[in-house]
Structure 1
């Protein structure tokens, strides 16, 4: 076995930075624009991990690299290749793929492995294998995933470097002489996409009326609607609107808002329409978590009654709140009052084909069925259904015309495929669960998270006009995306439907790299039905076997869905059995030259079994470092019981502070990448005591490496599981005192205990004042306490309260002592003239500066500290752990933020001129 680079060292800084950027929304043309997929793996991480799994670590070739210095020089060279592979907009840097491919061929000769991802999902891993010039196979049980992978791996490479067929391209000014990669197909998508738009406009344009103001007409960008229920007050009984906010835009001053026109009579109240006004609405919203309030009479209607109303009436009626229109001449949007004609046109849309299949009974991910919206058809308005259907018909018409003109049949199928996939992009935005974001004046798509939630006031886009969420915009995104997919060395690969748990390998020839399902965290098959119904409607004739079922196959999916399998225990058994079967099969199919790499990102609360959890002492940080999780336990148990040992663990950032669920929270931000090898047949057995002793010896060094990689504190406990279980996985068995094999849950608890001990030991590296502040903070946070107790604690830390006061971190008087909060620290603190700077003081001032003036401001302070700030990051890790245990979420967020910003602070501090750094010590906060 030759040790690979990934089993020794990788440049985590660049991989993390570029992976975080890759997951950021709005970064321009990108392969992810082909089709939505949930929890998609960042492409730079997949690319770097594949390369590092193939090339040798220099230490494995002592003849070529006989000294540590020679090994490091070679690693630095390989790191340089990885850094170039992780550039932003990598499709514009084709030389990076060629360089990496040349290195791979040099090390593998003509015997390249086939990269297999058996849980391919959105296709990040097989895509990057193909772009690196490697044979690739993407398999998945989910037909939506298979179709996404077919676009990237089969269709685009098949038509690479071909000029477009449309008659206008050759005459277009600036047309390229050579159509590299998929540019030719992209050009045809844009051309024939416009033809399709014209055909759809001809067929159904009358159902998308303009807005008229006096003698002027404006194109409607979006219609804004609100669902209604009948007011339970019999004296009122109006159709009361369910509106999150009547404010249409928070960007403008005065703010536009929609106000209902209420007609009152002895027979009840009626809302006859809405008018757009400017200023502040008297009533800002009508619905919240507990229920809704009638805007006409003030009657409250509990949420349970709203649900029952929806169930009894098969959904809700809707009222038109406002029109968002195009002003024209680049002057942006305007908001207009709706009228009855607009509502009547929307109501008179003829019926068309609809996906009349049931939504799953799974309230965790799907709330609309709780309110009477029980089919996929009910997630769309009549006009939305008509538009999506007419697009399908127009695509068929235009493709048939193209085929009859002599175009290659297979190329026509490829265009048909790409156009149908684009319909799904429209469906994501063009459904009655798309909401209006007033802060950005934009229409949001359905899948802002991994669920289909209920939405009360919703949008309806004009798919025919370019300034809306329209067909033409969707086609542009698809075209731009396919231009980024291929590298110059890409060749056609394969994607097929396959159950990973039943995969049989004829020979051990695969480099297996995969991001497996996360226990019950994401319901891929249920969620993807939203897209599947439209793909099946448009592509069933082209892919009859793949699209033969009415909905995505469910029962074989590796997910612990309790409702599907008849309870928690049965769901757990289904998942664990399938997981073990899959990893057992992988071991048989692995090319022995290369490690298996597994990505995992999971955080879920679950208590450990009390009788098997080790008892932990009363040290400052000595609580469980991470809550044990079924997901982690199942993954690791599946690996270990299938005969694998973990040879390396790397934390890779999945997202940054812009991720929706991470904004202002301490949400998990990293994938953990595990490199695994088959465990030797003669692996030894260990006792519980031997395992615990080895953990104490080896885990501190692993934690130092993780902290040095600038891993977020919120991720440290999860990441530490990898090196801890790596030790556990070396043994054929770890035996308890009873002689029974240790369970994975117990091993995880021991790893958590060892991590807590490491953090406690790190506390001993701090100065006496910081150690006092830590202990006092744990009991009092920033509240005052008794002087006697403070002084007694100070004595135990080899300091005194008067010394603490002199450092500026404590206030003492009247028999009370208070640790100063960040906002109370001296604004004129000058570290260049402070004779006694302590780590606690430095850490709090850095956070204060970071919060007030960002990374640049913190960098200026870091430069003034002249190397004394290095321990602040270590303290932040410990303080985060303490705050999480105490439930102090905002404080925890402060320490997590400092670590996340650390690399940026260092980089900016190094760019500051020396003179500037020393001229001004005063912080002026």
Structure 2
């Protein structure tokens, strides 16, 4: 039976007119953009600790989440700005305390209810919970919902009255990470993780022999082998022979892998120095695409990538142990060839003998859905199930980890811990297993660092399988982290997780636990008008396949937690993707998650947000994407759901330490419920209102120091606020004006309102390509700009990107860049910007005479104010050391001489043209 959650009343009436009962919030008029920008690169503002606790995708920095929640809940008062900046930039506990009091005063009838309908790992609810609000998070993914509980629920609870856990801490006193007065939850999670490690190591000991010193190696290098199509001998697919770089220490030459050929067999060998052999699986010199080369000298047959893939689908792959990684005191990590005993032990695993977990097989047998080659890369090579993403020994290790965690929960309950606390400790152990999955499977490659000229250090580690955002990588040679101590092992992952948990607890001492439940955003389990604010970070269009990428976690977590959290994991198969609001990448057959589906479902989700919001409530959407189509669909969904956008505040989040910087700017978009009975307006009227509103906002943004390129995104807010005032906006032909019109108009208004230092000449008197180029340079200088942003810029001047390519812009894989080199030619139809570029190039070739010739050829007057204004503008934007700046500086200094010469050249050209015309009547028909 579905239950509903009713939030405490704040005195608003659900039937009141929104237009007369909306309290203004900070976000409607102000946002600490510069503070967020400054904070995202710091440990406190990046949210490193919060993200390290649980693996999820595309999380925005904690500083942006904090700013969004604070400005949504706080009243629009200038005296709060300083404390908000302190809270965002430094996490000041004093400032946060004062802001909590201000929020409490704003909601005298009870704590405000803040809902995130796409809560993910729970970053936004965590910040709301820390402020004392009633924080609620919902997400369609059970994996994400668990992450929210671990981050923003359990760390904020009081567990001090719980019975003692029946395990030792697992650490010697000198190795303790924390003091004796550490929080109860932290101490007990550490004890549970240590107990899991101990039990798993014992269970898998027969399959991981100790080395000559009695220690378990920390890592094992494997490769998949295939039979050669020509000689039929099996050989491993190795993409790189380097094991580690030389450190620069005397006698340390680094290590490499070699294949020793002995008749019809091969064996691995570890040697000192740089690689002497070529990889067996690589791209041939000068050719694209990898191929597999048989290493036997008498053969050398080359197999195409398609052939290699076909062998996988034909079940011809086998896993081969190539090298063993050891930790040597005083030397560090080194590699050696595996012993015969190690090879035998590794291949002796029999997964068929493992007991199941309730209704689920021991090793995940859930099939990877078709069409997932882009997200689950191994599925494109013949691996059909999630369990097959590991070799047998890796699967055994994780199976025994599940078994140990489940056994420990039984022991915790027997020790009279409450069910809630036993479940919480079990969940943290399962999350540690999930985080370890990031450095397991066939996508966990050996990462060797160093080898540069300074040789300041070299090291090796296990690479993250999500190195490419949310795509589960795959390669034929991969590294297995064993049950020992080292990068990627349980011990290593536990240490980083405990440090993260400690910081989360320390930063949440004044908050109250958040509430998390699995729910679809289009069917929220809450009553009408029961939420004060919805602050959310929706799925970013086609950037991430959240459910498909996290199914790897889901299949293991449900084996561990199916009866611990039955609301999340007691389900057959994979995660339900019916209501997942994304645009699915790849070519999955019958895929329903299309662009139209995304827009329709997002609109329905915002409609649900409107239903549960109080009449004076606010919706804030944090969104980032480089594709203008994604923006159109998002803003269209908000409009269709009955919201008016009141503000948009950009933050530059690319400096956050996330490991991936796929989004450079994210925007906090403030919204309110649209008023009833909105009037109809003409497009001409709304065009004027939007332009005036944006230009007024630009003056305010200039005073606040908001960067010009950020103002372009911020302009969507006031433009959409005007757009949302009207039920219909009619064009002269009677059709309705589209949202796109006002996105473009907003950017144009910013440009028109910005002083471009063009000698006070009216901007409209410059030709469109010059306006475009000058503004582009002001925004981006010589940086590469994504195609979507470039197209947006062109639309502001009613230009087509295709017409600008070559003439004003160069295109590469990185995007578009403004041309400052010489155009191929100039004439009377050339833009002023092109003429100035030609003048700069001509100075280097012919000094004043060359420049004068360009001015004359372009049919410009030597004293053309527009020409010299653009010269001055380009100089203002370039560093003095730039070659174009040096040339134009010289041109500017010699303007008088150039003008005289240009007049002389123009006179000669005119005379020459007259002479040509005089000879025309005397030409013959034959000529």
Question: TM-score, structure 1 length as denominator?
Answer: 0.74
Shift of the alpha carbon at 1:40? 1.1
Map residues 74-89 of structure 1 onto 2, 5 A cutoff. 75=78, 77-87=79-89
Structure 2 distance, partners of 1:637, 1:792, is 38
Q: Partner of 1:533: helix, strand, or coil? A: helix
Structure 2 distance, partners of 1:291, 1:528, is 28
Deviates more, 1:365-374 or 1:338-347: 338-347
Q: 2:522 aligns with which of 491, 496, 501?
A: 501
Partner of 1:208: 208
Q: In the alignment, is the contact (CA less than 8 A) between 1:23 and 1:654 conserved in 2?
A: no
Q: Provide closer, same or farther for how the CA distance between residues 701 and 263 of structure 1 changes in structure 2, counting only shifts above 3 A.
A: farther
Deviates more, 1:527-536 or 1:781-790: 781-790
Structure 1 distance, partners of 2:757, 2:369, is 50
Deviates more, 1:385-394 or 1:101-110: 101-110
Q: 2:471 aligns with which of 451, 454, 469?
A: 451
Q: 1:357 aligns with which of 362, 366, 370?
A: 366
Aligned length: 765
Q: Partner of 1:501: helix, strand, or coil? A: coil
Shift of the alpha carbon at 1:443? 0.7
Q: In the alignment, is the contact (CA less than 8 A) between 1:263 and 1:270 conserved in 2?
A: yes
Q: Does 1:674 align with 2:669?
A: yes
Structure 1 distance, partners of 2:205, 2:254, is 32
Q: Partner of 1:466: helix, strand, or coil? A: coil
Q: In the alignment, is the contact (CA less than 8 A) between 2:140 and 2:580 conserved in 1?
A: yes
Structure 1 distance, partners of 2:852, 2:487, is 57
Deviates more, 1:576-585 or 1:695-704: 695-704
Partner of 1:412: 422
CA deviation string 1:271-291 (max 9, x = no partner):
332333312434256324612
Q: Provide closer, same or farther for how the CA distance between residues 566 and 24 of structure 1 changes in structure 2, counting only shifts above 3 A.
A: farther
Q: Partner of 2:146: helix, strand, or coil? A: helix
Partner of 2:346: 346
Q: Which residues of structure 1 form unaligned runs of 5+?
A: 59-74, 605-627, 820-835, 850-925
Q: 1:435 aligns with which of 428, 438, 445?
A: 445
Q: Provide closer, same or farther for how the CA distance between residues 198 and 794 of structure 1 changes in structure 2, counting only shifts above 3 A.
A: closer
Shift of the alpha carbon at 1:103? 2.1
Structure 2 distance, partners of 1:571, 1:175, is 48
Structure 2 distance, partners of 1:284, 1:758, is 59
Shift of the alpha carbon at 1:294? 0.7
Partner of 2:189: 189
Q: Does 1:812 align with 2:846?
A: yes
Shift of the alpha carbon at 1:191? 2.2
Structure 2 distance, partners of 1:184, 1:82, is 31
Shift of the alpha carbon at 1:192? 3.1
Q: In the alignment, is the contact (CA less than 8 A) between 1:24 and 1:659 conserved in 2?
A: no
Map residues 16-415 of structure 1 onto 2, 5 A cutoff. 16-21=37-42, 30-58=49-77, 75=78, 77-87=79-89, 90=91, 94-161=93-160, 165-166=164-165, 179=181, 183-212=183-212, 219-232=216-229, 234=230, 236-250=231-245, 252=247, 254-264=253-263, 269-283=264-278, 286-288=281-283, 290-296=289-295, 297-313=299-315, 316-329=317-330, 331-351=331-351, 352=354, 353-361=362-370, 362-415=372-425
Q: Partner of 1:120: helix, strand, or coil? A: coil
Structure 2 distance, partners of 1:801, 1:407, is 79
Shift of the alpha carbon at 1:168? 6.1
Q: Partner of 1:204: helix, strand, or coil? A: helix
Q: In the alignment, is the contact (CA less than 8 A) between 2:536 and 2:621 conserved in 1?
A: yes
Partner of 1:588: 611
Q: In the alignment, is the contact (CA less than 8 A) between 1:143 and 1:546 conserved in 2?
A: yes
Partner of 1:884: none
Partner of 1:618: none
Q: Provide closer, same or farther for how the CA distance between residues 302 and 703 of structure 1 changes in structure 2, counting only shifts above 3 A.
A: farther
Q: Does 1:523 align with 2:545?
A: yes
Q: Provide closer, same or farther for how the CA distance between residues 659 and 135 of structure 1 changes in structure 2, counting only shifts above 3 A.
A: closer
Partner of 2:570: 548
Q: Partner of 1:476: helix, strand, or coil? A: helix
Structure 2 distance, partners of 1:401, 1:243, is 45
Shift of the alpha carbon at 1:674? 0.6
Map residues 526-541 of structure 1 onto 2, 5 A cutoff. 526-541=548-563
Shift of the alpha carbon at 1:455? 1.8
CA deviation string 1:128-169 (max 9, x = no partner):
111111111111121111111222343333344568825867
Q: Provide closer, same or farther for how the CA distance between residues 661 and 238 of structure 1 changes in structure 2, counting only shifts above 3 A.
A: farther
Shift of the alpha carbon at 1:761? 6.1
Shift of the alpha carbon at 1:115? 0.5
Deviates more, 1:241-250 or 1:3-12: 241-250
Structure 2 distance, partners of 1:818, 1:138, is 68
Q: In the alignment, is the contact (CA less than 8 A) between 2:121 and 2:151 conserved in 1?
A: no
Q: Provide closer, same or farther for how the CA distance between residues 258 and 162 of structure 1 changes in structure 2, counting only shifts above 3 A.
A: farther
Q: In the alignment, is the contact (CA less than 8 A) between 1:669 and 1:715 conserved in 2?
A: no
Q: Provide closer, same or farther for how the CA distance between residues 425 and 794 of structure 1 changes in structure 2, counting only shifts above 3 A.
A: closer
Q: 1:469 aligns with which of 480, 488, 499?
A: 488
Map residues 648-797 of structure 1 onto 2, 5 A cutoff. 648-656=647-655, 662=661, 668-702=663-697, 720-751=715-746, 778=808, 781=819, 783-784=821-822
Q: Provide closer, same or farther for how the CA distance between residues 121 and 34 of structure 1 changes in structure 2, counting only shifts above 3 A.
A: same
Q: Does 1:844 align with 2:854?
A: no
Larger CA Rg, structure 1 vs 2: 2
Structure 2 distance, partners of 1:518, 1:603, is 10
Q: In the alignment, is the contact (CA less than 8 A) between 2:228 and 2:294 conserved in 1?
A: no
Q: In the alignment, is the contact (CA less than 8 A) between 2:255 and 2:270 conserved in 1?
A: no
Structure 1 distance, partners of 2:706, 2:259, is 51
Shift of the alpha carbon at 1:521? 2.6
Shift of the alpha carbon at 1:11? 2.1
Q: Provide closer, same or farther for how the CA distance between residues 357 and 650 of structure 1 changes in structure 2, counting only shifts above 3 A.
A: same
Structure 2 distance, partners of 1:175, 1:311, is 47
Structure 2 distance, partners of 1:328, 1:177, is 28
Q: Partner of 1:647: helix, strand, or coil? A: strand
Structure 1 distance, partners of 2:593, 2:807, is 46
CA deviation string 1:593-632 (max 9, x = no partner):
342101111223xxxxxxxxxxxxxxxxxxxxxxx31x22
Shift of the alpha carbon at 1:460? 0.0
CA deviation string 1:358-394 (max 9, x = no partner):
1122233222111101110011121111111212222
CA deviation string 1:772-828 (max 9, x = no partner):
99699938945456898699988999x9999x79xx985535975699xxxxxxxxx
Q: In the alignment, is the contact (CA less than 8 A) between 1:599 and 1:671 conserved in 2?
A: yes
Q: Provide closer, same or farther for how the CA distance between residues 757 and 274 of structure 1 changes in structure 2, counting only shifts above 3 A.
A: farther
Structure 1 distance, partners of 2:831, 2:681, is 42
Q: Does 1:9 align with 2:30?
A: yes
Q: Provide closer, same or farther for how the CA distance between residues 489 and 356 of structure 1 changes in structure 2, counting only shifts above 3 A.
A: same
Partner of 1:891: none
Structure 2 distance, partners of 1:818, 1:118, is 64
Structure 2 distance, partners of 1:39, 1:391, is 28
Q: 1:512 aligns with which of 503, 528, 534?
A: 534
Q: Provide closer, same or farther for how the CA distance between residues 249 and 757 of structure 1 changes in structure 2, counting only shifts above 3 A.
A: farther
Structure 1 distance, partners of 2:193, 2:569, is 25
Instruction: Supply the RMSD in Å over aligned alpha carbons.
Output: 4.1
